[in-house]
Amino acid sequence: MARKLGYALGVLLLWALSAQGQEMAPAEHPRVAVAPFAVHTAQPQPQLSTGVQELIAQSLLNLGVELVPLPEVRRAAGNQPVASESQALDLARRLKARYVIWGSLTQLGDKASVDGRLVDAERPAAPQVLFVEGDWANLVDAAQQMAQQVTVHVLAKAVVADVSVRGTERIEPDAILVQVKTKKGELLSQETLQEDLRTIYKMGFFETVAVDVTDTDKGKQVTFVVREKPSVVDVKIKGNDKIKDKDILAAISTKPFTVLRMNVVNDDANRIVKLYHQKAFFHAEVSPSVEFPQDPRKAVVTFRIKEGKKVYVKRVTFTGNKHFSDRKLRGIMETKARGFFSWVSDKGVLDREVLDTDLDRLTAFYHDRGFMDARAGTPSVEMKDDGFHVTIPVMEGERYRVSSVQVQGDLLETTPKVAEKLELKEKQYFSREKLRKDLDTLTKHLMDAGHAYAEVDPMVTKNQESHTATVVYQLRKGPVVHIEKITITGNTRTRDNVIRREIQLAEGDRFSVSALERSQLNLRRVDYFEEVDIQSSQSSSSEAMNLNVKVKEKPTGALSVGGGYSSEDGVFVGGNIMERNLFGRGQYLALKAYLGGQTSRYSISFTEPWLFDIPLSAGFDLYDWYREYNDFDKDATGGKLRISHPFGTWSRWHLAYVFESAKVSNVAEDAALIIKDQEGRQIKSSLIGSIERDSTDHPFLPTRGSTVKVSLEYSIPYLGSDSDFVSVVCGVGRYVPLWWKFVGFAHVKGGYIFELDADKPAPIYERFFLGGINSIRAFRWGDVGPKDPETGDSIGGIKFGQVNLELLFPLVEKIGMRGVLFFDAGNAFAKGEDFRLNDFRKAGGMGLRWNSPLGPLRIEWGYNLDRKSGEDTSNWQFSMGVFF
């Protein structure tokens, strides 16, 4: 009632103003004559007399005043300023004008003073005195102010002198003023004021809205008088169990210390319902209420929730599909029926937006298989007792084959060879995906030749009678573009040259999109940056281009820790302090330690990845390794010098020299003979060469790509070594995207030690011991391999093989957590034993991997599939890290 009363008062006030205006308004607009002004300046400027006259006249015209034409005024006044009231009245009679304005312009330094007089010929009382002071450099503004003062006296419709707001408590007055149309300096309009009242009321913040108009010597003062709605002092959520208060409060707009708006409260109730729908609670009900427990101006808003039961998608079926089964089409969609693993994912929840996107996926699936007219229709969704039943109509249409593929336009010498590699071929079924890939291939072909602005337009013509399609790729290469300037921004720590050396383009080079893509990949693979964005911009000419490299740095120091339990060491911990971008130079420095009940390892490593500012990596490792085995102790110190260099796209060769002094002591009396024979100090001096290739797309959570590594170690007396052997180890792994978001991983690894001199065998600690998180995960490190037949000691093998198969899938995709199911098999064999696959030890298990904010985390459980007497049934393995 108060809101309606306030609004009614505002309308009545406007009616009264309108009636008053109509009573005051004359039958005709009075004519005004603007006489030439007298000018007082330090230097004579007679032209300003008519200049000020014209400025004031134009401002009056803009305000709707009817003027006597200036030529008539000048003739009647003899082109001379009016000096007195009598001259002004005489001028008014001759021009048949009701009003005459005259006066003077005076320069006061950098200020201007405009003194005016306004005489009414019909009421020849004392003239109205007008005065304006402003900047001499802005006489236009002074003339406009003078015209506004004249209009206040001449017209019944007054000029608005100012607009203000009264009555606000929490809402800023400017938030209201920006919404209204009544502005300072404009003519007051009752229609506009009525519209402004409605606009303010519709903002939803006020119970009452009124307007107050008062007269001032400069015009009308317009004040909008408002009364705000009550404020919200508390928001309560009741009845919720499955969704936390903080998640609900984050989703709604009604907050404490804001204005109570019932339309917003009702919208928030709908937002909460939608939030529950996203969690499969489609029976959820939300009832909002507003109470004023202590003060009628302070509201408590309560949302009462009835959650109900979850409703999942039970079935997804199709109609009209003849060429593809329902199962095949369901595999294309994100919308799935609830299954076994749904408890760890959003599978089975009906989301209308996702369902709409699924229709596009289905249509694209058909188009990729030649059904150029196919489309997925509007789905039917029916809620039954057991869940949602979704039925999608499919219109397949006819299937089209490609009758011809041509490349036309601006061809290069190499275009014919590229055209041979296009995926769309004659007599094949048409595919939009292949068409897209062909466009990428041809565009990249032109851009790699320097044509940065190349365009390839596909022209596809369907023949509905023969169900064929012709494809013509029209090439437009544009000019050859060179790189003019490369700028780097966002690097606060990493030096420019560290970034530039990863960029495959330099100033003056011809543009190449492949080099640009590889540059972006290189900068991501160094793993110094959270974000890498290389944008191009036009340069001084159409044949030049600038590259803007924007990076966002991330922490490159790491404190990594891991641990576990073994029968040899009991509880053990290991870790390292590492910096991958030392002093912003891209250098690597790491201090590593492993501490167990019977083992300790310490090492320091340093790597310069670009020695002599070329991609030649060089570094060293120093280490101290002590371990108490069951039958002996090993205490070794040593070091490694290494260099490496990339070749090809993904590959790198490595060469290293290793020197180690190891002492075998405290050999048990009942130890195996092979162990007793190695008691004392041994020197190992060896060369290691290796080649590795890594094309994976992520260092910790890859989804595609492969890894290959082959290493060869020579430890021979010619280098000062006490042992004489050659060790070869090879490993191959591959990540393959499977259906949905599953990723398959297959890894095969094997090795062999050639002992060249029976009197100088490879040290026992150089042999192959399997088991652990990177090997056969149901066993502890060293438990898989040959054992001494008399003592049962693990003595390691001179050859080994292992196979690891993994199925990776997202658990909580938003935070980068994946699950893994795995199968491991492998074994190590002693000298004289045959390498037999039947003797491989087998394990299966599961685990999770999380690229957490604290660093990579692995937790895996392995089950022994062919357990022997005395062996553990299963083992837990884990590793974790924390970044700083």
More confident residue, 2 or 84: 84
Which one is the CATH code of 557-883: 3.90.79.10, 2.40.160.50, 3.10.20.30, 3.30.70.580?
2.40.160.50
For residue range 91-120, list pLDDT tens digits in order: 888 889 989 998 988 888 888 888 899 888
pLDDT computed for residue 345 by the predictor: 53
Using a 10 angstrom Cβ sphere, with 0-12 exposed, 13-18 middle and 19 or more buried, the burial of residue 294 is: exposed
For residue range 634-667, list pLDDT tens digits in order: 788 999 999 999 998 789 999 999 999 988 888 7
For residue range 342-377, list pLDDT tens digits in order: 554 557 788 888 899 999 999 999 999 999 999 999
pLDDT at 408 over 80: yes
Architecture of domain 401-476: Roll (3.10)
Cα–Cα separations (whole angstroms), residue 852 to 465, 556, 764, 812: 58, 15, 38, 11
More confident residue, 275 or 701: 275
Distance CA 882, CA 884 (A): 7
More confident residue, 590 or 17: 590
For residue range 23-47, list pLDDT tens digits in order: 333 335 688 999 998 888 878 887 8
More confident residue, 255 or 699: 255
Distance CA 599, CA 144 (A): 91
Domain chopping of the chain, boundaries: 2-23+159-228, 26-154, 231-306, 313-395, 401-476, 482-553, 557-883
Q: Which of 167-171, 540-544, 828-832 ranks highest by mean pLDDT?
A: 828-832
Architecture of domain 2-23+159-228: Roll (3.10)
- Give the 3-state secondary structure of residue 799: strand
Beta strands at 128-135 and 111-120: parallel, antiparallel or unpaired: antiparallel
Q: What is the mean pLDDT of the chain?
A: 86
CB 439 within 8 A of CB 473: yes
Work out the angle between the directed axes of helices 139-154 and 47-62 (0-180°, nearest 10). Answer: 50
pLDDT computed for residue 562 by the predictor: 61
pLDDT computed for residue 854 by the predictor: 62
Architecture of domain 26-154: 3-Layer(aba) Sandwich (3.40)
Q: For 255-270, what is the mean pLDDT?
A: 90
CATH class of segment(s) 231-306:
alpha beta
CB 690 within 8 A of CB 708: no
Distance CA 577, CA 149 (A): 78
What is the share, in percent, of the chain residues with pLDDT greater than 90? 45
Confidence of residue 436 (pLDDT cuts 50, 70, 90): very high
Distance CA 379, CA 356 (A): 9
Amino acid (1-letter code) at residue 181: K
Q: Which of 138-147, 433-442, 732-741 ranks highest by mean pLDDT?
A: 433-442
Q: Which of 128-142, 247-261, 430-444 ranks highest by mean pLDDT?
A: 430-444
pLDDT computed for residue 442 by the predictor: 95
pLDDT computed for residue 730 by the predictor: 97
Q: For 288-296, what is the mean pLDDT?
A: 89
For residue range 594-648, list pLDDT tens digits in order: 776 667 788 999 999 999 888 899 999 999 988 776 677 878 899 999 999 999 8
pLDDT computed for residue 569 by the predictor: 52
Distance CA 15, CA 666 (A): 110
* Residue 543: both structure tokens together: 């044949």
Q: For 231-236, what is the mean pLDDT?
A: 91
pLDDT computed for residue 565 by the predictor: 46
pLDDT computed for residue 702 by the predictor: 87
pLDDT computed for residue 15 by the predictor: 37
Taking domain 313-395, whether its CATH number is 3.30.413.10 is answered by no
Taking domain 482-553, whether its CATH number is 3.10.20.310 is answered by yes
pLDDT computed for residue 2 by the predictor: 41
Domains 313-395 and 482-553 in one fold:
yes
What is the share, in percent, of the chain residues with pLDDT greater than 70? 92
For residue range 248-260, list pLDDT tens digits in order: 999 999 999 888 8
pLDDT computed for residue 751 by the predictor: 96
Helix (H) or strand (E) holding 743: strand 743-755
pLDDT computed for residue 318 by the predictor: 95
pLDDT at 304 over 50: yes
Cα dihedral sign for 83, 84, 86, 91?
A: positive
pLDDT at 1 over 50: no
Task: Record the pTM.
Answer: 0.56
Cα dihedral sign for 676, 680, 681, 683?
A: negative
Distance CA 840, CA 642 (A): 35
Amino acid (1-letter code) at residue 136: W
pLDDT at 190 over 70: yes
Q: For 872-883, what is the mean pLDDT?
A: 72
CB 449 within 8 A of CB 412: yes
Q: Give the alpha-carbon dihedral of 15, 20, 26, 28, to 10 degrees.
A: -20
pLDDT computed for residue 563 by the predictor: 59
pLDDT computed for residue 29 by the predictor: 67
Q: For 733-738, what is the mean pLDDT?
A: 93
